[in-house]
A and B are shown apart, each in its own frame.
Chain A
Amino acid sequence: MAKVLMKGNEAVGAAAIKAGCKYFFGYPITPQSELPEYMSLELPKVGGVFLQAESELAAINMVYGAAGTGARVMTGSSSPGISLKQEGITYCAGAELPCVIVNMMRGGPGLGSIQPSQSDYFQATRGGGNGDYRTIVYAPSSIQETVDYVMEAFDKADLYRTPVLILADGMIGQMMEAVEFKEPKKIDLPEKDWSTTGTKGKRTHNIVNSLYLDSELLEKHNLKLEEKYKLIEEKEVIYESFGLEDADVVCVAYGTTSRIVKNAIKLSEEKGIKVGLIRPITLWPYPYEIFKKINPNAKGVLTVEMSTGQMIDDVKIAVEGKFPVYFNGRTGGMIPTPASILTDIEKIAGGIK
């Protein structure tokens, strides 16, 4: 199929429909509103339903209900709205309901700003709601990747019976790039024999539920979930990396910031500094292993984020104290510049005292 020029938010919607998603429950919020707008126009054309809920809380619980019937379903929002959705996300995790949730991050805390940000990393990668759970988190850095991973997200959600997050930011949501819609991969997925579609008198009732009043049963359920998360950690890590083996400095960045870092790396090369990159594409599970490939003589690892430093915790876990870890970040909708990153790279390569 030929390439089309699409806005990130609309591309998310188009990819979801291509992946067989027919239901979207949402609530407007800048900078992701083009997603519900797109869905309201396009879903009825494929026999699906778009519903604008009365709140983010209602929207995510509509997702819960729809996912409980086995349907492919999506919701989207931006940071403050995702906070409201956390209630439903933990219920979906507990009841093992597959669904896809998009967060086009904006500045926080509270109402924050409407400009791009990456300050929901903790919330996204540590579960976000109450209880022992994780959600798969894809952090695409281009519209093409956004489209590819939205499609993949539905498969992984079904495969593991888990909510999956697409964590991007206002920039990805608002920008336009050329994108190609490839045919989704066909993978074998388990039957949704747990879904509530009416017994038809042919089976005992199915129950979609996250409540286990008996402590022993809840522990058993928690351990079952944990086993699933371990399997995801083993199988679903995705990242991009280059130049690690002979790097003087290694940068770590995801999503929008990784693009800015790539510009800075180009500038560093012109100055003769060897800079490697680790770009996690799944933020959970996190690509801890690839950090072992870093040149043992590297001077340090530089984490670049649009936050005051959240992913840096995972970077510190990953380097196991072998390298000093530095941070370059802007917040509130401000965007790091290649020049400032270059300055930090030069300082690290030169040996910081």
Chain B
Amino acid sequence: MDEKVIMAGFGGQGIMAMGKLLAYAGMLENKEVSWLPSYGPEMRGGTANCDVMVSDSMIGSPVISHDATAALIMNLPSLLKFEMDVLPGGKIIINKSLIDVETSRKDIDAYYVPVNELASELGNPKVANMVMLGAYVELTKIVQIESVLKAFVKVFGENKSHLVPLNKEALLKGAEAVKK
């Protein structure tokens, strides 16, 4: 197992947090992990993306260079920027709520999930990123949902643990969306 995931979207969509949760969950399962953010002068509203790796063996370069096993795409600019970086046979999950085009790639598995709508159904549009992550975890089984929830408390602190049930629902909702 050697997952290299690009996560990308607008600043504020919880891209970095989604990446951290996956990396932390992987670490809790004793896997090798890395999380590499893009960083720039813009603090809000710009594009945000990070490279996350989860592997059974030592991670070499933490940089994804045209060798992503998956891409989690939250907005249109990110689709255009990163769809070519996915390896043939890799996965791309596209936020159908904000992106009304399909990927131009024919050699990868594409999934279209309306993560914003699904999050809104749960009563909190902020958990759209968790819906996306849930879909990805379901497709790859890279980590257990429970590990993501444990990671949630580690990353955001005990005082956010009341949000665990909501985030669990969001993860499951995302998982369900790609099961069909």
A and B touch in the complex (CB under 8 A): yes
Q: How far is the CA of A263 from the CA of B59 in the complex (A)?
A: 9
> Do the beta carbons of B35 and A259 come within 8 Å of each other?
no
Given A175-B35, A178-B27, A339:B40 Cβ within 8 A:
no
Is the C-beta of A145 less than 8 angstroms from some C-beta in chain B?
no
Encode contact with B along A246-266: 1 for CB under 8 Å, 0 otherwise.
000000000010011011001
Q: Mark A169-182, 1 if CB is under 8 A from B, else 0.
A: 01100111110000
Decide yes or no whether A319 CB sits under 8 A from chain B: no
Question: Residue-by-residue, is A317-347 near B (CB-CB < 8 Å gives 1, otherwise 0)?
Answer: 0000000000000000001011100000000
User: For the complex, what is the distance from the CA of A178 to the CA of B31, rounded to whole Å?
Assistant: 9
| Number of residues on chain A facing chain B (CB within 8 A) | 22
Check if B37 sits within 8 Å of A338, measured CB to CB: no
B23 and A5: CB pair below 8 A?
A: yes
Separation of A31 and B37 alpha carbons in the complex (Å): 11
| A175/B39 in contact, CB under 8 A | no
Q: Which residues of B contact A3 (CB under 8 A)?
A: 27
In the bound complex, CA of A256 to CA of B36 (Å): 12
Interface string of A11-49 (1 = CB under 8 A from B): 000000000000000000011000000000000000000
Q: Which residue of A is nearest B16, CB measured? A: A176
Smallest beta-carbon distance B26→chain A, Å: 8
For the complex, is B20 an interface residue (Cβ under 8 Å from A)? yes
**A177:B35 contact, CB within 8 angstroms:** yes
State whether A171 touches B62 (Cβ < 8 A).
yes
Q: Would you give the shortest CB distance from B105 to chain A, in whole angstroms?
A: 19
Q: Are B62 and A259 in touch, CB under 8 angstroms?
A: yes
Bound: A175/B35 CA distance, A: 5
User: Which chain A positions have C-beta within 8 A of B60?
Assistant: 259-260, 262-263, 266, 338
| Residue from B24, B36, B40, B65 within 8 A of A114 (CB atoms) | B40
Among A3, A30, A176, A260, chain B packs the most CB atoms within 10 A around the CB of: A176
CB distance from B39 to the nearest CB of A (A): 5
Which chain B residue has the least Cβ–Cβ distance from A337?
B65
Residues of chain A with a CB closer than 8 A to B159's CB: none
Given contacts A175-B34, A178-B33, contact A30 B39 (CB under 8 A): yes
Q: Which residues of B contact A178 (CB under 8 A)?
A: 27, 32-33
Contacts of B67 in A (CB 8 A): 338
Which residues of B sit under 8 angstroms from A174, Cβ to Cβ? 36-37, 39
How many angstroms between the C-alpha atoms of A259 and B35 in the bound complex?
14
Q: What class of interface size applies to chain B in its complex with A?
A: 20 to 34
A5 touches B20 (CB 8 A): yes
Measured between beta carbons, the chain B residues less than 8 angstroms from A338 are 60-61, 65, 67
CA of A178 to CA of B62, assembled, Å: 13
Is there an interface contact between B23 and A176, defined as CB atoms closer than 8 Å?
yes
- Would B32 and A335 count as touching, CB distance under 8 A? no
Known pairs A260-B60, A260-B63, A338-B61; A31 contacts B39 (CB<8 A) = yes
Instruction: Choose among A176, A262, A335, A339 the residue that contacts B63 (Cβ–Cβ < 8 A).
Output: A335
8 Å CB contacts to A: which residues of B99-130? none
Contact: A260 with B27, CB < 8 Å? no
Known: A5-B35, A171-B36, A266-B60. A176 touches B65 (CB 8 A): no
Min CB–CB distance A32 → chain B (angstroms): 11
In the complex, A177 Cα to B41 Cα: how many Å? 23
A339 to B66, CA, bound (A): 10
Contact B41 A175 (CB under 8 A): no
Q: State the Cβ distance, A111 to closest chain B Cβ, in Å.
A: 12
Closest to B32 in A: A178
The answer to whether A176 and B35 touch (CB under 8 A), given A259-B60, A263-B61, is yes
The docked-state distance in angstroms from the alpha carbon of A174 to that of B65 is 18
Residues of B within 8 A of A262 (CB): 60-61
Q: In the assembled complex, how far is the CB of residue B141 from the closest CB belonging to chain A, in whole angstroms? A: 20
**CA of A262 to CA of B57 in the docked complex: distance in angstroms?**
13
Tell me the A residues contacting B by CB distance below 8 Å. 3, 5, 30-31, 114, 170-171, 174-178, 256, 259-260, 262-263, 266, 335, 337-339
Q: Name 12 A/B residue pairs within 8 A (Cβ), A-sorted.
A: A3-B27, A5-B20, A5-B24, A5-B33, A5-B35, A174-B37, A175-B36, A177-B33, A177-B34, A177-B62, A178-B27, A335-B63
Give 5 new A-B contacts, CB below 8 A, not counting A177-B33, A178-B33. Answer: A114-B41, A176-B33, A176-B34, A263-B60, A338-B60
The 10 closest A-B pairs by CB, nearest first: A176-B35, A263-B60, A260-B61, A262-B60, A175-B36, A178-B27, A337-B65, A259-B61, A5-B24, A263-B61
